[in-house]
Amino acid sequence: MKYLPLNPDIFINNRKRFVSKMQPNSIAVFVSNDEWPSNGDAIHRFKQNSDLYWLSGIEQEDSMVILFPDSPDAKYREVLVLVRPNELKEKWDGKRLRAGEASNISGMQTIVWLDTIDALLQTWVHLADTIYLDSNENDRKSPLARSRDYRFIDEMKSRYPLHHYARAARIMKELRGIKTKEEVEVIQKAIDITDLTFRRLLGFIKPGVMEYEIEAELVHSFLSNRATGEAYGSIIASGDRARTLHYISNNQECKDGELVLMDFGASYGGYNADLTRTVPVNGKFSRRQKTVYNACLHLHNYAKSILKPGIPIVDYTEMVGEEATQQFLKIGLLRKSDVKNEDKENRAYRKYLYHGISHHLGLDVHDLGTRTEPIKAGMVFTVEPGIYIEEEQMGIRIENNLWITKNGHVDLMRNIPITVEEIEMLMR
């Protein structure tokens, strides 16, 4: 790993939180993600199952976490399973974790090797009544392939058909949505690296630069500051391309007089930042660009002002939509007749703001968390309104990351330049 070792208390506390939600005399088993083939004998870069990482901090493939709090043998109440180090394999693929190293990362004291787990697991399962198994239950995406966690579910149900099974994902959705102070400290580190990178870019961008050159600068900055890399495919969208929400081609020239929308974030210690800023390629906003940018910044600040515990996300989104309507009237995007005659299922403002305002952020960029219940203290959200104007070939989005507290929130990106004046000054 490139990042500095994390505090194992993060994972110790996460396991305690999960165990507190388990039924009596139950066992929970989590398996790592697949190593996915690419072409020929190549494989894609391995990405750990986020739930397993949340419990252990282990990024290595072929790992398992087993939690059995009511085990009669205290040694086996939490178990980390690792692939046994192999000298020949390590010559090709590099060093694998030793037991002591894994204990230091995870805080788990019982480490067993994968090639011995079948007999042990059978003993433990026979002592339990309920088996918690994990599945990739994200509201935004259904799995297209039968991944390892789903294959493991099939295998367990085939081997132990008379047990009661429960969904670990239901507990994970509740727990992972609420970040601990220690988790937020790691997110802040990812954000601090992203801040340094944005400031670097402001001194680099000029007419004639290519979008991919900006992307190269930000990747260089991330890795130079011990980030794992990009939290997601960075969006560097100049001119009219900024209206494409997930534009990742990043292959066009940034021209004088255009804006460039940059949506990027560093990943550090498994946790992610998610920043968007829109800046003038030549370092100076035109009068119209400034007007639209300040309208977007107004929406951003308004959204932050109402994002606090107790507000349902649906109500929050609706309130931001109402404010967007007023701003779009002011800057000439909408007429009063557009609002009066709008379809309530497709509001008039949606022509210029056609995505959600916020999403959960954490181990996954679109992290686990409720989309229907009221917002709770401890959640981390993005705030990212945008204005996209086809007629003017312009797209602007402004995004910060907020940690919800008991009485309001903390803007984790409060130190990152955001106003027209700050951006222009740093680009001079």
CA distance 324 to 305: 14
| pLDDT 10s digits, 277-314 | 999 999 999 999 999 999 999 999 999 999 999 999 99
Q: Which helix (H) or strand (E) holds 166?
A: strand 164-167
pTM score: 0.96
How far is residue 263's CA from residue 351's CA, in Å, rounded to a whole number?
A: 21
Q: How far apart are CA 325 and CA 319, in angstroms?
A: 10
- Residue 65, pLDDT score: 98
Smallest Cα–Cα separation from 266: which of 193, 185, 361, 360? Answer: 193
CATH topology of domain 9-176: Creatine Amidinohydrolase; Chain A, domain 1 (3.40.350)
- Could you give the CA distance from residue 382 to residue 361 in angstroms, rounded to a whole number? 7
Give the model's confidence band at 196: pLDDT under 50 very low, under 70 low, under 90 confident, else very high: very high
DSSP for 212-232 reads HHHHHHHHHHHHHTT--EESS
Mean pLDDT along residues 88-105: 94
C-alpha distance across the termini of the chain, in Å: 37
Q: Is 312 helix (H, G, I), strand (E, B) or coil?
A: strand
Residue 229: C-alpha distances to residues 222, 225, 237 (Å)? 6, 10, 20
pLDDT (average), residues 33-45: 91
Q: What is the DSSP string of 373-403?
A: SBP-TT-EEEE--EEEEGGGTEEEE-BEEEE
Q: Is the pLDDT of residue 143 over 70?
A: no
Question: Cα 321 to chain center, whole Å?
Answer: 24
pLDDT tens track for 157-186: 999 999 999 999 999 999 999 999 999 999
Contacts of 217 (CB under 8 A, 6+ apart): 197, 200, 201, 204
- Checking if the pLDDT of 142 tops 80, the result is no
Pairing of the two strands 78-82 and 110-113? parallel
CA distance linking residue 101 with residue 96, whole number of Å: 10
Structure confidence by residue, pLDDT tens digits, 241-264? 999 999 999 999 999 999 999 999
Per the listing, tokens 């994902």 go with 169
Average pLDDT, the chain: 96
> Taking the domains of the chain in order of start, what are their residue ranges?
9-176, 181-427
Residue 350 pLDDT grade (very low, low, confident, very high; cuts 50, 70, 90)? very high
181-427 folds as Creatine Amidinohydrolase (3.90.230)
Residue that is written with structure tokens 């954000």 in the block: 191
SS3 content of the chain, % helix, strand, coil (to 5): 40, 20, 40
DSSP-assigned beta bridge partners for residue 397: 386
Q: How confident is the model at residue 146 (pLDDT cuts 50, 70, 90)?
A: confident
For 199, phi then psi, to 5°, come to -65, -35
> Alpha-carbon distance 341 to 170, whole Å?
42
- What pLDDT, on the 0 to 100 scale, is given for residue 253? 98
Query: Which DSSP state fits 242?
Result: G
Contact predicate 395/263, CB 8 Å: no
Identify the band that residue 371 occupies on the pLDDT scale cut at 50, 70 and 90: confident
In 225-312, alpha helices (H): 287-306
The DSSP string of 405-418 is -SSSEEETTTTS--
The more confidently predicted of residues 89 and 328 is 328
Q: Which residues make Cβ contacts (< 8 Å) with residue 425, sequence separation at least 6?
A: none
CA-to-CA dists, residue 82 to 79, 211, 353, angstroms:
10, 42, 47
* pLDDT for 140 beyond 80: no
Q: Residue 141 above 90 pLDDT?
A: no
Partnered with residue 230 across adjacent β-strands are 266
Tokens of 286: 């035109």
What CA–CA distance (Å, rounded) separates 221 from 195?
10
SS (H, E, C) 81-120: EECCCCHHHHHHHCCCCCHHHHHHHHCCCEEEEHHHHHHH
